[in-house]
Chain A
Amino acid sequence: MLSSGTRTVIYYTALLPALLVAVLVAIGIGSTDLPIQTIVDVLVSKLAGSFWTHAPAFSAADEVIVWSIRLPRVLCAVFVGAGLAVAGGVMQGLFRNPLAEPGLAGAGAGAVLGAVLAFVTGWSAAAVVSLPACAIIGALAALLLVYFMATRAGVTPVSTLLLAGIAVSALLSSISSLLLSLSIVNWQIAQEIVFWMMGGLEARTWTHVWLSAPLVLLGTVVSTIYARELDLLQQGEDVAAAFGVNVESAKRSLIFTAALLTGAAVAVAGSVAFVGLVIPHAVRLTLGPSARTLIPASALGGALFLVLCDLLARTLHPPTELRLGVLTALIGGPAFIWLLIRRNRETSL
Chain B
Amino acid sequence: MKAPTVPALLCAKSLDVALGGRLILRDVSLPIQKASLVAIVGPNGSGKSTLLRALAGLLPSSSGSIELAGQPISRYRRRDVARILSYVPQDTRVEFGFTVRQIVAMGRHPHMGRFAGETQRDHDAIDRGLALCDVDHLRNRQINTLSGGERQRALIARCLAAETPCILLDEPTASLDLEHALDIFTLARKLADAGSAIVLCTHDLNNGLRFGTSLVVLRQGVVAFASSGSTSPKQGMPPEEQTDTERTTVEPSVIEPSVIEAVFGVRAEAVLSANGTPHYVFHPKDHHS
- Chain A residues close to B by CB (< 8 Å): 1, 3-4, 96-98, 225, 228-229, 231-232, 234-236, 238-239, 241-247, 284, 288-290
Complex interface: chain B residues within 8 A of A1 (CB):
140
Tell which of B95, B98, B109 touches A245, judged by Cβ atoms closer than 8 Å.
B109
User: Contacts A231-B102, A290-B102 given: A244-B95 contact, CB under 8 Å?
Assistant: no
Bound together, the chains give a CA A318 to CA B162 distance in angstroms of 60
Cβ-neighbour of B97 out of A3, A229, A288 (below 8 A): A288
A98: chain B residues at CB < 8 Å are 95-96
Determine the residue in chain B with the shortest Cβ distance to A236.
B89
Segment of B10-18, B78-86, B182-190, B212-220 in the binding face: B78-86
Chain A facing B: main interface SS? loop
The answer to whether the Cβ of B259 comes within 8 Å of any Cβ in the partner chain is: no
With most chain B CB atoms within 10 A of its CB, the pick from A1, A236, A243, A246 is A243
Judging by beta carbons under 8 Å apart, are A97 and B95 in contact?
yes
Known: A98-B95, A243-B86; 17 extra A-B contacts, CB below 8 A, are A3-B140, A229-B109, A231-B102, A231-B106, A234-B98, A238-B53, A238-B56, A239-B89, A242-B58, A243-B106, A243-B110, A243-B158, A244-B82, A245-B109, A247-B78, A284-B96, A289-B98
Chain A residue nearest in CB terms to B168: A242
The answer to whether B98 and A243 have CB atoms under 8 Å apart is: no
The answer to whether B89 and A232 touch across the interface, beta carbons within 8 angstroms, is no
CA distance A238 to B57 in the complex (A): 10
Residue of B nearest to A96 (CB): B95
Bound together, the chains give a CA A225 to CA B112 distance in angstroms of 12
Docked pose: A97 CA to B94 CA in angstroms: 11
Task: Tell me the nearest residue of chain A to B96, going by C-beta.
Answer: A289
- Point out the residues of chain B lying under 8 angstroms from A245, CB to CB: 78, 109
**How big is the B interface, by class?**
20 to 34
Main secondary structure of the interface of B (DSSP, over half): loop
Please state if A228 and B112 are interface contacts (CB–CB under 8 Å): yes
Chain A residues with CB under 8 A of B85: 242
Residues of A within 8 A of B82 (CB): 242-244
Q: Tell whether, in the assembled complex, residue A244 and residue B110 are in contact, meaning their CB atoms are under 8 Å apart.
A: yes
Which 8 A-B residue pairs are closest in the complex by CB-CB distance? A244-B82, A244-B110, A289-B96, A242-B87, A244-B79, A243-B109, A243-B82, A96-B95
B109 contacts A228, C-beta separation under 8 Å: yes
CA–CA, A234 and B103, complex, Å: 11
Q: By the criterion CB–CB under 8 Å, are A232 and B109 in contact? A: yes
Q: Which of B103-156 contact A (CB under 8 A)?
A: 103, 106-107, 109-110, 112, 114-115, 140
B56 lies within 8 A of A242 (CB) = yes
B contact residues around A235 at 8 Å (CB): 94, 103, 106
